[in-house]
Amino acid sequence: MIENILQKSATECVEALYGQHVAKQMIQIQKTRPEFEGDLTLVVFPLLRMSKKAPEATAQEMGEWMLANVEEIAGFNVIKGFLNFNISENYWLAFFSENKGKLGYGLKDTKDSQPIVVEYSSPNTNKPLHLGHIRNNLLGWSVAELLKANGKDVKKVNLVNDRGIHICKSMLAWQKWGEGINPASSGLKGDKLVGDYYVKFDKEYKAEIETLIEQGQDRKSAEQQAPLLQEAKTMLRKWEDGDAEVRKLWENMNQWVYDGFDVTYNRMGIDFDKIYHESETYLLGKSLVKEGLEKAVFFRKDDGSVWCDLSGDGLDEKILLRADGTSVYMTQDLGTAQLRYDDFKPSDLVYVVGNEQNYHFEVLELILTKLGKSWAENIHHLSYGMVELPHGKMKSREGTVVDADDLMDEMYQTAKKTTEALGKFDDFTDEESHQLYQMLSLGALKYFILKVDPKKNMTFNPQESIDFNGNTGPFIQYTHARIRSIIRKANEMGLTFSDSLTYPAKLEKKEKSLIKLLYDFPQIVDQAAEAYSPALIANFAFDLAKEYNQFYHEHIILKETNTASRDFRLGLSLFTANTIQSAMGILGIQVPERM
């Protein structure tokens, strides 16, 4: 890497000019700001105590020494305490020659090491996947692929929350008002059918609360004493006791939901290496609670509930078992974490969960540490912001969520309408058109979600996401298709540019800037993996597509009369297309060969 070459030579320069050894961290190399001439910049200010000279004088001396001694440097200029280097064209052309034909350029082979476990999705079996789940799934899957691209062994896992009071609510509502309806008889996906009864429970439950209030109870008491809630609690206790009738109903309704989830996951392009179920992990969690009681890490209150006192750690008391012996989310998360460690012995446990659960994961790590689990320090909560639509927040219980399937349908229709309006795809068959609309709609959805830093809240606007001229997935997809069209035409002309090692006498400005951007891709992958941020990859892909379009509009390619320039530009185009494909692949976005 040129940055390493400059850092090493700058160290040698300080020793040669000023007779002092300089620590590596004092040599700061960064990209030259766009308003100044140069490729890379050395920040001179940390070195002034060694040179004992003014910033400009120090930069000038170092620039002259490095120009004379470093063949990769073609020139320099000084702006106050900043030494800007022009890197030689030979260096950029050597990089291009070495990497232009690598389909996996910028991606590392998987190392034989401890795996990283990435959990995402984590749906409840009482409702279909919605817009919030879309961000979770896309972010989790892309982070896993990003870590793979950085050479990590990754295990993608899902924890299905398939038991608990919320599951019993939809079960009870179906039992009371379902009249035997099922996905086959209703024509509904199973997850949607079950979700309807979760909404039905909430509606009837609220009606009961208002009735109790009218009879003289205060609201808090009415919420606790409402008959429907009591029945749901009874059903949960029966489930935990293994009641055959309750378990059979639970199995049937959960299977409806699983079948519905699979359809949505497949359409979204989401997969997992292993799926855990809360119903299979909560008992291990209970055994860990028992272990904690025996070690006096936890304590039991008079009502029989079990707690962990975290007040000494600046937090509060955390319940682990209710008074009736039923478990809570924390119980099963303790069991799931232990099971994952036993299964994979991972170097890291990454949980992709919204920022409303920050406290939960702080407590989880702390409790596992108190239980003596040394691997608890490897837990990483990838906390992401909420996603909303322009009209505001969503609420599952009130049925105001944006269903993932419905949103993907809307995206498909928007992509179809927008694409047809351009009038450039009349030669596509119906099947080819369908595949293109599917590719564009998912590309628009995924890119719009993933281009935002995970930590930030975001508003998803379906109309804005499908724009062939903005910072969108379709813009990048269209750029890729444009390049592939150029390559096809070159092949039809019999050009053998991919093997050419003859380069133009001098690089044009846009040719050089495109090479420099391609050069950055491996570093972007490293930085994005370290930050668990696919947004860095997304924005790189946009910058690369934008830069290529500027290059395309400024320079002739196929009709260029200078053979060396023509072949070089074709090779540069192919290198760009392959890199766009790699970058978008990390995001789970397919790029079309033609549009």
d(CA 103, CA 575) in angstroms, rounded, equals 8
Q: What is the CATH code of the structural domain delimited by 404-586?
A: 1.10.730.10
b/e map 166-194, b = 16+ CB within 10 Å: bbbbbbbbbbeebeeeebeeeebbbbbbb
Specify whether the CB–CB gap between 481 and 595 falls below 8 A: yes
The pLDDT, as a whole number, for residue 538 is: 98
The pLDDT, as a whole number, for residue 531 is: 96
| Both tokens assigned to 411 | 């995206």
The pLDDT, as a whole number, for residue 534 is: 98
What architecture (CATH level 2) is domain 2-87? 2-Layer Sandwich (3.30)
Report, as ranges of residue numbers, the positions in the chain whose pLDDT lies below 50.
392-399
Identify any residues that bridge with 40 across adjacent strands, giving them in sequence order.
31, 85
Q: C-alpha distances in angstroms, 191 versus 117, 142, 173, 253, 462?
A: 27, 25, 15, 9, 23
Could you state, in order of their start, the residue ranges of all structural domains in the chain?
A: 2-87, 120-388, 404-586
Q: C-alpha distances in angstroms, 357 versus 1, 53, 382, 532?
A: 40, 53, 10, 18
Read off φ and ψ for residue 280, nearest 5 degrees.
Answer: -100, -10
The pLDDT, as a whole number, for residue 408 is: 93
Helix pair 190-214, 227-240: axis angle to 10 deg: 130
Helix pair 473-492, 430-450: axis angle to 10 deg: 130
| Both tokens assigned to 206 | 């609220």
The pTM assigned to this predicted structure is: 0.91
Specify whether the CB–CB gap between 298 and 306 falls below 8 A: yes
User: How confident is the prediction for the chain on average, in pLDDT?
Assistant: 93
| Both tokens assigned to 284 | 């291990």
| Three-state DSSP string of 297-341 | CCEECCCCCEEEECHHHCCCEEEEECCCCCECHHHHHHHHHHHHH
The pLDDT, as a whole number, for residue 394 is: 42
Tokens 């700061």 map to which residue? 28
Specify whether the CB–CB gap between 263 and 188 falls below 8 A: no
The pLDDT, as a whole number, for residue 343 is: 96
The pLDDT, as a whole number, for residue 504 is: 85
The CATH superfamily assigned to 120-388 is HUPs (3.40.50.620)
The pLDDT, as a whole number, for residue 397 is: 43
The pLDDT, as a whole number, for residue 501 is: 64
Specify whether the CB–CB gap between 65 and 539 falls below 8 A: no
Minimal CA–CA distance to 554: which of 584, 513, 526, 504? 513
